[in-house]
Amino acid sequence: MNNENIIGKLNQDLANELSAITQYLTYAAKVSGPYRPQLMQFFLAEVPDEQLHAQYLANKVVALGGEPTTIASPVAEAHSNREMMEAVLAAEITAEKSYTQRAREAEEFGDKALALQLEDMVRDEAGHKEEIQRILKDWPL
Domain locations along the chain: 3-137
pTM of structure: 0.94
pLDDT tens-place string over residues 58-73 = 999 999 999 999 999 9
3-137 architecture in CATH?
A: Up-down Bundle (1.20)
Q: Which of 132, 45, 38, 124 is nearest to 82 (CA)?
A: 132
- Those residues of the chain that have pLDDT short of 50 are none
CA separation for the pair 67, 125 (Å, rounded) = 25
pLDDT at 1: 74
Rounded percentage of the chain residues whose pLDDT exceeds 70: 99
CA separation for the pair 103, 7 (Å, rounded) = 13
Strands (E), the chain: none
pLDDT at 3: 87
